[in-house]
Chain A
Amino acid sequence: MEWWKSLFRKRALDAQLDSELRFHIEELTEANVAAGLTPEEARRKAVLEFGGREQIKEELRDVHRVSIVESTLANLKSAFRLIRKSPSFSITVIVTLALGIGANSAVFSAIDAILLRPLPFPNGDQLMELRQYNPKTSSPRTRLAPVRLEDWNRMNSTFQAITGYYTEDNSETSGILPEKVTVAYVASRFLQVWGIAPALGRDFTSEEEHFGGPSAVLISDRLWRRRFNADPNALGRKLRVNGHSSSIVGIMPVSFLFPDRDVDLWSSVPVDEPIAQSREWTWYLGIGRLKTGVTLEQARANLATVQKQLGIAFPKTDADLNVQIEPLKEMTIGGVRRSLWILYGSVSLLLLIACTNIVALLLARAAQRQHEISVRFSLGGSRTAIVTQLLTEVFVLAVAGAALGLLVANAASKVFPALARDLPRVEEIRLDWRIVLYSLVCSVLATLVCGLFPAIRGTRRDVSSSLTQASRTQVSTRNPLQWLLVGVQVALAVTLLAGAGLLLRSFQELGRVSPGFDPRQVLTFHISGSYAETANWKGLTQRIDRIVDSLGSLPGVETAATDATLPGVPSHFQIELKFAEGQQDPERKIVAESRFVSPGYFATMRIPILSGELCREMADSTKSINVLVNRSFANTYLTESTVLGRHLQEVPASGILSPGEIRGVVGDAREEGLNREPGPTVYWCTGASGPDPFYLVRTRTEPMAMAETIRQRIHEIEPARSVFNIAPLTEHLDEAFAENRLRTVLLAFFAATAVSLACLGLYGTLSYSVNVRRREVGLRLALGALQGQIVKQFLLQGLGVSFLGCLAGSVLVAAFARVLSGMLYGVSPTDVTTLLGVVVLVLTVAAVASLFPAVRAARVEPMQVLREE
């Protein structure tokens, strides 16, 4: 851009030079003609007289060229000279900016990778997630029936293609030991929707997508390297998953991590498979690719029409269903958006504090450089030139800071994945030219923010002449502006610290909460299973019961149980219920969390039974089932006397669960997340909620010590199954709050940096003030002032400004605390205790920062200072 402009300017300049010189020659020619020469003679003489035209033009170009290049070079040269001359000042500025810009760039790199960039697929913004839902119930069943998915794909006019998938953890048994693999079962058109081809091999053929056709799988790059050592001959080899042999037809690119980074295999589900024909059996998550130019609104309207038509064709199953379409990116990012922007806001505040700090430093320096600046004025320098010169100095510092900051950002971008493994798209965070460019923009902005004001103020002529006069004889300088800047820094630091304080308090409160269950000494794991087993619930139930019994009898194990979801890890499965007997108030819906647990769950988690008795596992949960309810459910929907023996029924009936008989009431537990009050909950007593529930084992000693024993026992009774994801329950609970923790740790770190910077600013400004007022202090000491009085005076000055900063900060906190609401637990956004704590902390640190310069002031030797005069 710049070179293009300068080229353009050069052309225009050349044309002007040419016509100016041409005019001269023409006038000469005319004069010669008037003197009596022939036109040719006249012109020849004129050209001769004029002399080397090209040479003159070159010289003229020089006149114009020299100034820009030379002044820039001169500015840079003098900037470097100044930096060398005052290394401590320069290092302070560079390090401050490196921290500010580095932290900012690091958070920006996360925002860029997670929020701003499209998903890493061709035209990723065309990818949508599709679900079905029934607006009349609060049922969470949003997966799609395979036949409905095919109908949508055939009847719509806004999608290029729609496909679906579900994942399952399975065992691969072609090796010596069963190996756990995560399999994504996919509908037709899967790769077409992604717009991705296998790195090696091919997509599924249409025979492979039909029932009875050859069985084929695509494998991940990870599995290819792990199992086949990246051997291209792996194509055509067979894998045995879930007792079913399939050939490998393709290997996916390393960057293809969908549905998640753990997927090992993609296996196609035939459209015409007999069990896939029911409109009520739902298992797919739908993914579609919009046609080019189609908007989300158009797609929603189009599929709503399609579903309405299906509702007419299949009134029983489809009339009540609606279609939900969301951009896949939004679904992937989920809730981290707000966290990331809050972090970005706080690092930007940090950068602002850093800049304010530098403004104060530059102002102090401008005062010292008054003499130099007035000399340059008197030498004929224009104000613009001097301001440019001063800005160049700051810019050189800012670029050095940004370069150093990139190193900080690079280190930080490696911290993100370590702090929060489950952050979506975390593997896409990296340092590239966009981040480098961003840092450069930051440094230009920082230059303007930091440099412009001190430069303009420092080059005011009246100030430059008057101050040079005054500095020799003045008794004290008041520099209200610098103190204002210190106040601003303190206020911003208080704001950040209060935010961090609130998050920390929430964490503390969470740790103090009594969850209603005991997560200590509980080991959790999975044992591979397949949905195909659900065709025979009775067999599945027996198999899982046998495993649980066998685990419970292991030495070192107190009790064992299964649960569909882990207690304390946030999850939601709210369904609507009704009582099978008696009149129902239609106005009063019964909505409760549903958990599917084996009877041993309550003993394992130490959840007390308050009344009634423990439930029993029925041989076939589709025929009869026991339920327990928690106290909250009983209090909300029933009275104590009428609880036991009543039957609960799903609305609408799914046919999977029979009406459950309430056998007892248990204590409330925070199973849907430690930060949530326990709500009405129904426990359906079946260990076989699915083929692969969580197994929970309460151990007598350290839980991980039992891992090997458990693995061996399972290998004895179920040699074809693999045991995986073995971890203590407490670790899962920690992980559930990883994002929360990332937010808290980073904000606390930024706040600590902010407070240090603000105190550095306070220290610097007070030291400067002490330096300027040395004579005054010396004089007063000579006249009998006590050292204590001097200390007190400076200390109070520093503390006074900090106090005002704290007040202003408190106002900011009150104004912005709402940003954090919803992220806090057990503490209000305007918690007075936290704010008081923050203010006391800041004032204490400010007192320490003020004490050093104040004591230095009191140690001034009166005689020495007066002699300097």
Chain B
Amino acid sequence: MTVQKSDLLQGTLDLLILKTVALGPVHGYGISQRIQQVSREALQVQQGSLYPALHRLEKRGWLQATWGESESGRQAKYYRLSAKGRKQLQIEESEWNRLSEAIGLVLRTAE
């Protein structure tokens, strides 16, 4: 499944990014790889959505970016979660859980 702007709510991609970055500083390529691996290839983030989202989150102050050297020895832009972003992650996580529980509840009782 490919995550695209139209497919999922904007907030979902943000949540995925925040969660991934929460594990430690990581660059854009790393984020897309990690989401792919962790979701067992179920979710593929398009670059055209990933980068605008990253920059938006950085602008909002939820992510902080620094330039550093990657494992391959190249200059890469690393993203890290800010204190504000951590709070936001908590909010969004619980929102998501609430929402998915609610949807699950509806689906189950509707049977």
Contact = CB atoms under 8 A, between A and B. Distances in A.
Interface of A: 16, 19-21, 23-24, 26-28, 30, 50-52, 55-56, 59-60, 62-64, 67
A62 B28 CA distance: 18
A23 B78 CA distance: 11
Indicate the member of B32, B70, B77 with the most A CB atoms within 10 Å: B77
A30 B70 CA distance: 13
Contacts of B51: 20-21, 56, 59-60
A51 B48 contact: yes
Contact of B47 (A26, A56, A67): A56
Indicate the member of B29, B46, B52 with the most A CB atoms within 10 Å: B29
Contact of A60 (B27, B32, B52, B74): B52
A23 B47 contact: no
Contacts of B32: 24
A289 to B, nearest CB: 61
B3 interface: no
A671 B55 CA distance: 83
A63 B59 CA distance: 8
A28 B47 CA distance: 12
Nearest to B28: A24
B48 A23 contact: no
A15 to B, nearest CB: 11
B52 A27 contact: no
A786 to B, nearest CB: 59
A52 B70 CA distance: 24
A55 B49 CA distance: 11
A55 B48 contact: yes
B79 to A, nearest CB: 10
Interface in B63-84: 70, 72, 74-77
B56 interface: yes
Indicate the member of A19, A21, A23, A67 with the most B CB atoms within 10 Å: A23
B55 to A, nearest CB: 4
B54 to A, nearest CB: 9
A28 B29 contact: yes
Contact of A20 (B48, B59, B77): B77
A59 B74 CA distance: 24
A163 B52 CA distance: 75
A55 B5 CA distance: 15
Given A28-B29, A50-B47, A56-B48, 7 more contacts: A19-B75, A23-B74, A23-B77, A27-B70, A59-B48, A63-B52, A63-B56
B41 to A, nearest CB: 14
A23 B59 contact: no
Contact of A24 (B29, B52, B56, B75): B29
Main secondary structure of the interface of A (DSSP, over half): helix
A61 B106 CA distance: 41
A52 to B, nearest CB: 7
B77 A16 contact: yes
Nearest to A58: B52
Given A16-B77, A28-B29, A23 B52 contact: no
Contacts of B70: 23, 27
B77 A51 contact: no
Contacts of B75: 19, 23
A19 B55 CA distance: 14
Given A51-B46, A55-B48, A56-B47, A23 B56 contact: no
A55 B51 CA distance: 11
A60 B55 CA distance: 7
A27 B46 contact: no
B55 A23 contact: no
Contact of B55 (A24, A50, A64): A64
A23 B29 contact: yes
Contacts of A63: 52, 55-56, 59
Lowest 7 CB-CB distances: which A-B pairs, in order? A27-B29, A63-B55, A24-B29, A20-B77, A23-B76, A59-B52, A56-B48
A32 to B, nearest CB: 13
Contacts of B46: 51
B56 to A, nearest CB: 5
Contacts of B28: 20, 23-24
12 contacts: A20-B76, A21-B47, A23-B28, A23-B70, A23-B75, A23-B77, A24-B28, A28-B29, A51-B47, A51-B48, A56-B48, A56-B51
A51 B50 CA distance: 12
Nearest to A23: B76
A16 B76 CA distance: 10
Indicate the member of B27, B46, B52, B72 with the most A CB atoms within 10 Å: B52
A827 to B, nearest CB: 65
A128 to B, nearest CB: 62
A74 to B, nearest CB: 16
Given A51-B48, A52-B48, A59-B48, A27 B55 contact: no
A50 B44 CA distance: 12
B59 A24 contact: no
Interface string B21-35: 000000111001000
Nearest to B61: A382
A24 B47 contact: yes
A21 B77 CA distance: 9
B59 A64 contact: yes
A24 B48 CA distance: 12
Contacts of A20: 28, 51, 76-77
A67 B59 CA distance: 9
A20 B27 CA distance: 9
Contacts of B77: 16, 19-20, 23
A30 B74 CA distance: 12
Contacts of A52: 48
B59 A56 contact: no
Contacts of A16: 77
A473 B78 CA distance: 53
Nearest to A57: B51
A59 B49 CA distance: 9
A63 B54 CA distance: 10
A548 to B, nearest CB: 92
Contacts of A23: 27-29, 70, 74-77
A541 B59 CA distance: 94
A21 B47 CA distance: 9
B15 to A, nearest CB: 18
